[in-house]
Amino acid sequence: MTKIIVANWKMNGSGPFIIEFFKNFSPNSQNRIIFCPPSLYLKDVFFHAPMIGGQDCSPYSSGAYTGDTSAVMVKDAGCQYVIIGHSERRQYHKETSETVRQKAEQALKVGLTPLICIGESKEIRDSGKAIEFVLEQLSQSLPAGTDKTYYIAYEPVWAIGTGLTATEHDIVQMHQAIRQALPTQGTPILYGGSVNKDNAHAILSLPNVDGVLVGGASLKYEDFNHIVAFSEQAMI
């Protein structure tokens, strides 16, 4: 099955960085390689890579929301995808699952595929209630009654940017619980949180892991080249 590899550049990159990166990285792969740069660089990256995604969109279609970007604007920039509800948005911008759901619905309305992020904090993981918490967050974040495609990304908050990854056992257990809770069979479920060139192959080979959402390692073309190469080996 095709694997989905998403590069979330977060608030990193520059014009010269993009030129240098794509001098050394070719997005040709049998798998789905999606770049999510900061919105102001979407068009620059689209010049080099066929599949791009936004990092966020507004829960509203248009209006007096200074600084925000609507789903249709993300689409107009060439995107087919948009990340919604990343834990950094939930944490630093106080986004609730209700807002995440509204954003996902806006995305679907304009024909974007939302990549809806969910994941527990360290405290919740330590309390033994991670699965319960994540499934609740999932049910509150999902767009209402739709047969359109969306992706889910399980990103444990404590594994993001820390070099810590969930154990293979925990990833398998969580992805299986998410799979069983999803209303539509075949919804892709991605793992994110310190995915790198050393662990990508093992993670991509786990059951119910349809792809990875990569932060830091997607900014280094050598590492990202390795991850994409491993994704091809992990195709089943």
The catalytic site residues sit at 86, 155
Select from 144-152, 203-211, 213-221, 228-236 the region that touches ligand 13P (CB under 6 A).
213-221
The CB-of-67 to ligand 13P minimum distance in angstroms stands at 21
Closest CA to 57 of 49, 47, 67: 67
Binding mask 82-101 for ligand 13P (x = CB under 6 A): ----x---------------
Instruction: Pick one of 52, 82, 213, 227: the residue that binds ligand 13P (CB under 6 A).
Output: 213
Closest CA to 87 of 154, 24, 145: 154
The CB-of-24 to ligand 13P minimum distance in angstroms stands at 19
Residues with Cβ within 8 Å of 226's Cβ and at least 6 positions away in sequence, in order, are: 197, 200
Cα separation, 233 vs 64, in Å, equals 48
Query: By the 8 A CB rule, do 190 and 209 touch?
Result: yes
Instruction: Pick one of 85, 114, 156, 215: the residue that binds ligand 13P (CB under 6 A).
Output: 215
Count of chain residues binding ligand 13P (CB under 6 A): 14
The CB-of-198 to ligand 13P minimum distance in angstroms stands at 13
Q: Name the token pair of 124.
A: 């919740």
Instruction: Pick one of 71, 174, 214, 234: the residue that binds ligand 13P (CB under 6 A).
Output: 214
How many angstroms from the chain centroid is the CA of residue 23? Answer: 24
Residue 4 or 195: the one with the smaller Cβ distance to ligand 13P is: 195
* Buried residues in 53-63 as b, exposed as e (16+ CB within 10 A): bbbbbbbeeee
Query: By the 8 A CB rule, do 37 and 224 touch?
Result: no
Q: Restricting to residues 161-200, which ones interact with ligand 13P according to CB under 6 A?
A: 161, 192-195
CB atoms < 10 A from the CB of 194, how many?
A: 21
Q: Which residue is nearest to ligand 13P (CB)?
A: 215
- Contact footprint for ligand 13P (CB under 6 A): 8, 86, 155, 160-161, 192-195, 213-217
Residues placed in the known binding site for substrate = 8-10, 161, 194, 215-216
